Structure 1
Amino acid sequence: YEWIIGRVSMITWAIGVIPFKDTFWTTSIQPESRYGNFTGPNIHLNALIALMSLGGVALSDKIGNANITVVNRLCRSDGVLFRPERPATAMDSTFLASSGPKGEMWHTYSSDGQQSTFVEYVMITNLTEPYLFSWNELSNTEEDDNPIRIVSDMYVAFEFENPNDYYWFSSVNSSTILMPSCAQDLTTHHSPFHLYIFMPFSKISNWILFGELSKQLPITKQRFGSIQNTSDSLHVNVIGVYGEQVSITVGYSEHVFGKVDIFTVECSFISVQDISTMMITCETQTGCQCNII
């Protein structure tokens, strides 16, 4: 249970110490392990928590036994990690014994490089009962140490594994999301988890950036230099490394609470032998393209 750091991270971050969850395996079975037949049942959960902690992402697989698929979900091809703006910490409602979630529910957020857009992340795990999550809980995460970040009054939200099953999440109609139970298997110690992502909806452009969904945190400043909404268009500055093929998902809705059409845009970083940027432009009439700046 060394990964259950949501509450203690509140304390360490408050005193200026970056949390750390300990090392972890990316492959569940390690040949010739000193632990015998022990199986690491939570490789994806451990990887996500390490990433969201802001501490070291410390792999402890046997040499040559790391799972490159798990590792690649955390970073660019040059090894730069996709990080949130602050460590993930337990949400206030987890301290309410009777009315709060019966398990772990943590929150963090990320932004683009210019801090013009903030994306909210809520992770649940070990919930023994379903939990009704409200917009007010997200609103309560606003903090004095980052006055630039303001919780939006309108989001398109989805569970990481199911972007097509999205929710309109708003302050206007007291939106809620019924988060499912995901109790730990007491025999294998496997802890199912869900990561909910809240993308702010711009009424200026009607476009929504879903991000790079092959990565564990799909929108961070390490990939997106800027996100700008103008009348009927979206402009996204994408940072990449030579040789990367970056797939970005965007959505468009004609109006709030309407159907969201989802598109994938490919950015191929093949022209500059280093880190470079490309620009995704999405317009109502012409769709989306990714071009060299």
Structure 2
Amino acid sequence: MRLVRFGERGQEKPGLIDKDNVLRDLSGEIDDLRGEHLSRAGLARIRALDPKSLPKADPSHRLGVPVAGITNFLAIGRNYAEHAAETGSDVPTEPLIFNKAISSLNGPHDDIGIPKGATAVDWEVELAIVIGERALNVSEGEALDFVAGFALCNDVSEREWQKNRGGQWTKGKSAPTFGPLGPWLVTADEIGDVQALDLWLDHNGERRQTGSTRDMIFGVAKLVSYISDFMALQPGDVITTGTPPGVGAGMKPPQYLKGGDRLALGGTRLGEQRARVLGGEG
């Protein structure tokens, strides 16, 4: 299933995209895409519905973040060896975990803003994991049972703040609009081999990133299991899993976002995001 939330910011309704790419309204069946509705049993109940029995919704509606009630927005750094190399960083021996502020979450086609004082805002196309059930100390073999599905994420980053403001990555990852997520949550049963998904990103119409999740240093099952050793993951928690090479910081000279720029990014079965950049030099 491809599950979405549509409507104005703060007033989104749950929905799904049917096999004919028609937007259907789920709000008569569930209150939102959160909590128990993301569990195996909850998704099975949604899956059992006949999509044609659900009201059609206007396809011009804005799409919001596809999951509600997110309590943790976690991210993994340097999870592709070529990306580590392009930024002059060592390849980690264990997953490098940091937080993005919940307030950075953004709809998949919403504008991305350059914050006051920012000079090095960069792009990062990534696969994001959405947790479906509480996970604590789960084994790698059972980890995928706790995953509701996957989404496309742009881990927007301010490199100067990330690297040179005390070494605390959260500072460079958490500005408002720095966490575009979606357009949809695609359930795990429809994603196929999660370690064989292509990812791409275009900046102003030029291809910058081309990669595959097969090149992850730490795969999805490993990440969920590993993180669950340190915290209890909750339904709706998001883990964005790192970016392939091709970021602006890796270019010579580095190239960063400015007002008026356009980004387009996508992935196999993950859909596409298209956003314009506001602020900065524009």
Q: Structure 1 length normalisation: TM-score?
A: 0.25
- If each structure's helix is expressed as a fraction of its own residues, which one has the higher value? 2
- If each structure's strand is expressed as a fraction of its own residues, which one has the higher value? 1
- Structure with more relative contact order (C-alpha pairs < 8 Å, separation 6 or more): 2
Q: Structure 2 length normalisation: TM-score?
A: 0.25
